[in-house]
Amino acid sequence: MEMEMEIEAEVQVRMEPPKIHRLDDSVVNRIAAGEVIQRPASAVKELVENSLDARSSSINVVVKDGGLKLIQVSDDGHGIRYEDLPILCERHTTSKLSTFEDLQSIKSMGFRGEALASMTYVAHVTVTTITKGQLHGYRVSYKDGVMEHEPKACAAVKGTQIMVENLFYNMTARRKTLQNSADDYSKIVDVLSRFAIHHMNVSFSCRKHGAARADVNSVATISRIDAIRSVYGVSVARCLMKVEAVDKDPSSSVFQMEGFISNSNYAAKKITMVLFINDRLVDCTALKRALEIVYAATLPKASKPFIYMAIILPPEHVDVNVHPTKREVSLLNQEIIIEKIQSVVESRLRSSNETQTFQEQAVEPTPSCQMVSSKDSNRNPSPPGSKLQKVPVHKMVRTDSSDPAGRLHVYLQPESWGHLERNSSLTAIRSSVRQRRNPKETADLTSLQELIDEVDRNCHSGILDIVRHCTYIGMADDVFALLQHDTHLYLANVVNLSKELMYQQVLRRFAHFNAIQISEPAPVKELIMLALKEGNLDPECSENVELNEKIAEMNTELLKQKADMIEEYFCIHIDKDGNLSRLPVILDQYTPDMDRVPEFVLCLGNDVDWEEEKKCLQVISAALGNFYAMHPPMLPNPSGDGLQFYQKRKPFRNPEESLSCTTGDDVVTENDIEHELVAEAETAWAQREWSIQHVLFPSMRLFLKPPNSMATSGTFVRVASLEKLYRIFERC
C-alpha cells in the first residue's frame, strides 16, 4: 500500500511543469559566444571588420593550426584609447552606436559589441594597442569579458594587434569537429581574399605561422580588376567583364550596383560569389540562385561563374540586425532589386556571347612542321565509311626533345637585343661543350676524387632521365623554366640547377680552366668593403667602417698568401698588389654576372677552411657554383609590373605652376621612365634567358648529375600531364 502511494506521488511530480530558473551568466555568455564565433574564420572576419572600422590601411593575419592554436590580426588603424581598455571585451560595449535608432543609419561593420567579448569566453585574448601621440603602447589580456591584469606599458607600432589563442579550449565538442586545420585555413584565406578585392585601398596579407610566404598578399590599388588579378590570378581576371545597374526610382527601389562577372571562357567546379552590400561582406541566397539560373540558361558550359558585386543602398533600407555573425542582411524591396540585377546580367551575357571573339596566333612553319605536312600530303584519304584506327595518346602529343615546335620562343616575334650572338646556333654550342677535356684528366688529388665520387653516388636516376631527355619550352617566371619530358610538364628552378651544374663542372675541370681576363683589375680590398657595406644595416656608422676595413685588410692579405694555389687549381688570379684580374671559364659561351663579384670574393676570404684540403676545395667550388649560377639580374624585370621600378619621380610643384604647365598643347607627365636603365635591364634579362636556353640546358643534358635532394627541394615540380590535358580538350 505504501509503495502504491509513493508511485502515485512520483507520477504527480512528473506531471507538474518544470521550474524555470535563471541561467548563470557564464553559461549565457558561452552560449552567445558559440553563436557569434562559429569557427576560426568567423573570428578572423570579426577582427578584420574591426580593423577596417579603425580606418586601417594595412591588415596582416597570421594563423596557426587553422586558427585553433593562434589567430593574430595586426592593423595600422587609430588604435584603442587607454581609458577604454577595461571595458573593451565586455558584452555590448561599442563605439559604433549609442541608441537603437542609430541602427537606421549605421555604416560601420560592427555595432553589437559581442565579437571580442565572445572570443574571451572561448579563447585567450591578448590586445596590444597604441594611439596617435602616445610614447608607448599597452598590452592586456582578457578572460570571460574582463581584464586579467592592469594594462602593461610596452613597445608597439601604430594600430592594434589582437591575438586569439587556444580557440574553443573549453568547448570540447566544437574543437573536435574543427580538427581539420587545412580546411579551416582555406576558409580564412577565402574570407581575406574577398575583403582584399573589395577594399582596394587596404593592403591585406594572410600566412601560416612560421611560413615565409603569404597565401594572400594584396597591395592597395585603384583598379578593381588589378585587385582581382593579384588575389584570384590572371586566369580569372582575363575572363571577367564589368556590369553596372542603377535605379533611382523611390517608388520601386533605390540602389546602385557595380561588379564583374565571368564570361563564357571561364570554367570552374563551383560558383564563386563575392557580395558586398553597403561595404559589408554578406550572403544573399536568393540573388545567388537567380544569377545561377541566368548562367545555366545563357552559358550552359560556364554555369559555375565567378561573380563580384558591390551594392549600395540607403542605410535605412537595410536591416543589418538579422544574423548573429552579420552574415545576412534584410533589404527593402529585395525581390525588385534581384530582378533588375538579374536582367542586367542576362543582357550582358547575351551581348558578350553574340560578339564572342577568339584570338588567333600565327605560327611560323618549322622544319618539323613542314616534314609532317609533306608526309600527310602523300597519304591517300581514308575511304568513306572506313573505321578510324585509334591513335595512341603518346603519339597525339609532342614528346620529341629535338622538335622545336613546342618551345615558347617559336610563337613569339623575334626581337633584336643588340649584343646577343644571334648567329650562334645550338649545334655550335653543343659542339663547343663536347670539345672540353676528359674529366678524368684532372689533378691527381684524393680529396678531389672523393668529392667527385660523392656526386656520382648521390645522383637521382629519375631526375637524371628527365634532365637528359627534356625539352626546354620557356621561362615561366624569373626563376622557374617550363620543361617537357615524355608527356609530362615540369617547372624547374634554373637557379638551383645552374648552381649544382657549375659546382660539378668546377670539380671536373679542376686545374684545367680557360681564363676570363678582367679588362680593369679590381682591388680585392675594395670588393670586400663593398660586400660588407651591402650587408650592414647602418653602413655609415664609423665603427662599422673601421671594422669593415680591418676585415677587408685581413682577408686581402690571406688571399694574397693563397694566390698561387687558387690560381693553379681554380684559375682565379690575384696579383701581388691584391688585384683580381682573371676568373675561370666554367661553361663555354657563358660569363657570370659581375655584379656578384664582391660577394664571391668575400666568401673566398671569410668562409674557406684553408687547413683541411677536402673542405677547402669543396667550399671554393661551391662559392664558384653560386657565383656563376644564373640568378635573376640585380635590376628588376622591366616587363609587366616591374616597369614601375624605373619611374623617376619629379619634385613636387606648386599647383599654380602645374596649371600653367598644362595649359595649351603641352602635357606634362609626373612620372617619366628611366629609358637608359630600362634598356640596360632588358639587355640583362634577355642575355640571361638566351644563356639558359642555349648554354645551361644543353650543358645539363651532357654533364649534370642531379643529387637526390632535388627530388624534395622543389627544384623539379610536375605541373601537368599531356595525356590528361588531351583527354580534357578532346571532350570540348
Grid coordinates representing 521 are 683589375
Is 50 exceeded by the pLDDT of residue 569?
yes
Whole-angstrom Cα Rg for the chain = 34
**Are the C-beta atoms of 668 and 661 separated by less than 8 Å?**
yes
Summarised one tens digit per residue, pLDDT across range 39-79 is 899 899 989 988 998 889 999 999 999 899 999 999 999 89
| Residue 539 confidence class, pLDDT cut points 50, 70, 90 | low
* Lowest mean pLDDT segment, chosen from 306-310, 327-331, 489-493, 556-560: 327-331
More confident: 635 or 23: 635
Instruction: Identify the pLDDT of residue 384.
Output: 43
Pairing of strands 514-523, 488-493: unpaired
Instruction: Identify the pLDDT of residue 95.
Output: 59
* Amino acid code (one letter) for 385: G
Q: What is the mean pLDDT of the chain?
A: 78
**Are the C-beta atoms of 318 and 277 separated by less than 8 Å?**
yes
More confident: 675 or 712: 712
- The angle, 0 to 180 degrees and rounded to 10, between the axes of the packed helices 115-122 and 25-36 is 110
Q: In the predicted model, what is the mean pLDDT of residues 705-724?
A: 85
Backbone angles phi, psi at 36, to 5 degrees: -80, -45
Is 70 exceeded by the pLDDT of residue 373?
no
Summarised one tens digit per residue, pLDDT across range 202-235 is 999 999 998 888 999 998 888 899 999 999 998 8
Residue tagged 597565401 (cell numbers):
215
Contacts of 623 (CB under 8 A, 6+ apart): 600, 603, 604, 607, 608
Rounded CA-CA distance 52/49 in Å is 5
**626-635 as b/e, with b when 16 or more CB fall inside 10 Å?**
bbbbbbbbeb
Instruction: Give the residue from 718, 677, 711, 699 showing the smallest Cα distance to 630.
Output: 699
| Residue 8 confidence class, pLDDT cut points 50, 70, 90 | low
In order, the DSSP letters of 602-666 are: HHHHHH--SSSHHHHHHHHHHHHHHHHS-PPPSSPP-SGGGGGGGEEEPPP--HHHHHHHTSTT-
Is 60 exceeded by the pLDDT of residue 136?
yes
Rounded CA-CA distance 718/640 in Å is 26
**Are the C-beta atoms of 68 and 167 separated by less than 8 Å?**
yes
Rounded CA-CA distance 56/103 in Å is 23
Grid coordinates representing 318 are 537595410
Q: Give me the long-range contacts of 398-402 (CB less than 8 A, separation at least 24).
A: 398/471, 398/484, 399/484, 399/486, 399/487, 400/368, 400/471, 401/469, 401/470, 401/471, 401/484
Backbone angles phi, psi at 512, to 5 degrees: -130, 50
Instruction: Give the residue from 699, 726, 293 showing the smallest Cα distance to 505.
Output: 699
Is 80 exceeded by the pLDDT of residue 438?
no
Instruction: Identify the pLDDT of residue 503.
Output: 93
Q: In the predicted model, what is the mean pLDDT of residues 102-125?
A: 71
| Residue 274 confidence class, pLDDT cut points 50, 70, 90 | very high
* Amino acid code (one letter) for 166: N
Contacts of 553 (CB under 8 A, 6+ apart): 525
Is 70 exceeded by the pLDDT of residue 343?
yes
Calculate what percentage of the chain has a pLDDT beyond 90: 27
Instruction: Give the residue from 711, 704, 709 showing the smallest Cα distance to 462.
Output: 711
Burial class (CB in 10 A: 0-12, 13-18, 19+), 212: exposed
277: three-class secondary structure by DSSP: strand
Contacts of 61 (CB under 8 A, 6+ apart): 44, 48, 71, 72, 73, 74, 188, 192, 204, 205, 206, 207, 216
More confident: 24 or 332: 332
**Are the C-beta atoms of 125 and 103 separated by less than 8 Å?**
no
More confident: 143 or 19: 143
Q: Give me the numbers of helices (H) and strands (E) for the chain, helices first please.
A: 24, 25
Burial class (CB in 10 A: 0-12, 13-18, 19+), 652: exposed
Summarised one tens digit per residue, pLDDT across range 386-404 is 444 444 544 445 554 555 5
Rounded CA-CA distance 71/125 in Å is 10
**Are the C-beta atoms of 200 and 166 separated by less than 8 Å?**
no
Rounded CA-CA distance 636/674 in Å is 13
**Are the C-beta atoms of 590 and 695 separated by less than 8 Å?**
yes
Q: What is the pTM (predicted TM-score) of this model? A: 0.49
In order, the DSSP letters of 472-541 are: EEEESSSSEEEEEETTEEEEEEHHHHHHHHHHHHHHHTTT--EEEEEEEEEEHHHHHHHHHHHH-S-TT-
Rounded CA-CA distance 228/261 in Å is 11
Summarised one tens digit per residue, pLDDT across range 504-535 is 999 988 888 888 888 888 999 899 888 888 76
